[in-house]
Copies of this chain bind each other. A is one copy, B any other.
Amino acid sequence: MKALTACTKAELAACKQEYEAEYQDFKAQNLKLDMSRGKPAPEQLDLSMPMMDVLTSKDLLQTENGFDCRNYGLIDGIPEAKRMFADILGVSDKEIIICGNSSLNVMFDTVAAAYTHGILGNTPWCQQKDVKFLCPVPGYDRHFSICEWFGIEMINVPLKEDGPDMDLVEKLVSADSSIKGIWCVPQYANPTGCCYSDQVVRRFANLKPKAPDFRIFWDNAYCIHHLVENPPQVLNLMDACKEAGNPNLPYIFASTSKVSFPGSGISMIAGSEENMSDLKKTMSIRTIGYDKINQLRHVRFFHDAAGLRAHMEKHRLIIRPKFEAVINKLNADIRPLGIADWTEPKGGYFISFNSMPGCAKRIVQLCKEAGVTLTGAGATYPYGKDPEDRNIRIAPTYPSVAELTKAMELFCICVKLASVEKLLAE
């Protein structure tokens, strides 16, 4: 194969004819596959089915210190759940609150509390003239949606292989008091899969924000979601912040949504005791407490951090071949043509694909018309606006390997077709 970029117009026209025929063949197959979200596959969910048996009518539904989980109380979580996830996140029991079924909900509530009531006595964001967030891009659409909902202006920051462009982050944060936060997925970023380097984490911990109510929204969604046997370690932000004398900088989020059951897992927020006690004020108005029986169910099933990690190894064995199928197909069909690049993540839920500029929307549209729904092009950028129209988030986990192989065949044809259309139009 020859790089498309090196082809003459006549060669391109011939390619286009060939790709169109292949595309029409696919269309005739009436595929129907939704790859728009990062959903675990049924086989992954099956891994947690024994969790349905750990609490029965014969069990005492009590915490280790004898508290009845069936009744009101313990707004910050049962002690054994706090310990297990404090261990995972590298914080102390006093620096974590175990919440309900959705860490997105916790992030929303945290932004909402800052918006309506302010952080640690600072002026509520809704009463400040401008409120801005830095958004490493490409990133997670639901983070951006929260900002958009609250009218928070988003500023793109390039996400590099070792984390956000810290020169830019430091410059912006130290100069502008209207910058109140930054969304980070430090381990296996959504969608690139990159891990923040130690240096990047240290530079985060040593930020000197102009805004006293600036926070790092550290969404550690994939901290134990490895795809490789010797996974990269991301430095403990909480420790680094304490060392730097900035203990209040981070809000750390995580959940078991892709460990046990999405929607029926448990979530958590971690941070300094001062931050936690600040957040508990709004929490105690909002609810009498989260679902402690479900917290207990999780602890009885996973036991401890080691149990959680062992469970994640089973997930790894299921989803690793799916990531490989995607990467292998891209390597075989697209690599030689010189029209795109993509990430090869060591964990997380996504592969980030960059087409030639101006092709992403067209590729997603072509796939959709042939029955495969991808995450919308642009979704990985604030306001849905990918300035170069290049980035596509591939979510390989939900389909079977067979379905995925089929979908990737189609995807590659669509990439080729869109690219050749683009090159012919130039």
Contact = CB atoms under 8 A, between A and B. Distances in A.
Interface of A: 37, 39-40, 42, 45, 48-53, 55-57, 59, 61, 68-73, 100-102, 104-105, 108-109, 112, 115-117, 126, 142, 145-146, 149-150, 257, 261-264, 282, 285-294
A40 B40 CA distance: 37
6 contacts: A40-B71, A71-B261, A101-B290, A145-B285, A291-B291, A294-B294
A285 B52 contact: no
A142 B104 CA distance: 25
A69 B59 CA distance: 24
Question: Within the oligomer, what is the number of copies of this chain?
Answer: 2
Contacts of A257: 72
Given A59-B52, A71-B39, A72-B262, A146 B285 contact: yes
B72 A263 contact: yes
Given A116-B112, A291-B101, A68 B42 contact: yes
A40 B73 CA distance: 12
A145 B286 CA distance: 9
A286 B143 CA distance: 10
A109 B112 CA distance: 10
Given A42-B68, A57-B52, A71-B261, A291 B288 contact: no
Given A52-B56, A59-B52, A108 B287 contact: yes
A57 B53 contact: yes
Nearest to A289: B263
A62 to B, nearest CB: 11
Contact of A37 (B56, B68, B72, B294): B72
Contact of A291 (B61, B70, B289, B294): B294
Contact of A292 (B71, B264, B287): B264
A292 B264 CA distance: 7
A51 B57 CA distance: 7
B285 A263 contact: no
A57 B68 contact: no
B37 A70 contact: no
A291 B262 contact: no
A70 B264 contact: yes
A126 B69 CA distance: 37
A282 B149 CA distance: 8
Contacts of A68: 42, 45
Contacts of A262: 70-72, 288-289
B70 A294 contact: no
